[in-house]
Structures are given as structure tokens and as C-alpha cells.
Amino acid sequence: MGNDDAAPGDKLQRLLELWDDMRDQGREPTAEELCADCPELLDELKQRIAALKATNWLEKPHNNNNVHGQ
């Protein structure tokens, strides 16, 4: 998927953006699907996706978050 001539870092970034965009559209792809033609990036992409999921709460601006620690 994407340009095969791209540097691994650029390609990883594009795959991450694609994952994010598709998730926004309600069609979250798996890392395996995204890395079908670049299995060497699979583990790294999985980690990056896990990071975005775990920090999803940062998508809400600071003022709009629920208040914790009360």
C-alpha cells in the first residue's frame, strides 16, 4: 500500500495517517491489512497504533476533558 520507493519512516507515517483517517470514517483497518505489502513494518505499525489508541483521550482538547482527581 502506498509508494514502495518511500523511506520506511515516511511509509510508516503514511500508513499511520491512513489508519487514523479510516478510523475516523468508522472503518478501522488492522495493521496486518495495512502492511499486506510491507510486512517488515508490521510490528512497528502495531506499536504506533497501540500508542494512538492509548492516548486517544488527548484528541479531546484540554478544557473539554472530563475532570479527574476530584
Partner 1 sequence: MGTSDVVAGRLQMWLDRLQAGDESARDELITHSCERLRSLARKMMRKYRRLQRWEETDDIFQDAVLRLHRSLQDLKPESVRQFFGLAATQIRRTLIDFARRHFGPEGIGAQEFVGFEAAEVAADGPVDLQQWAEFYEVLDNLPAEERAVVDLLWFEGLTQAEAAIALGVSVSTIRRTWYSARYFLYKALRHGQ
In DSSP notation, the chain reads: ---TTS-HHHHHHHHHHHHHHHHHTT----HHHHTTT-GGGHHHHHHHHHHHHHTGGGGS-GGGSPP---
Nearest residue (CB) to partner 1, 38 versus 44 = 44
Nearest residue (CB) to partner 1, 37 versus 70 = 70
Computed on alpha carbons and rounded to an integer, the radius of gyration of the chain in Å comes to: 15
Site string for partner 1, 5-34 (x = CB under 8 A): --------x--xx-----------------
Q: Does 50 bind partner 1 (CB under 8 A)?
A: yes
Q: Does 3 bind partner 1 (CB under 8 A)?
A: no
Residues that bind partner 1 in the complex, under the rule CB under 8 A: 13, 16-17, 47-48, 50-52, 54-58, 61-70
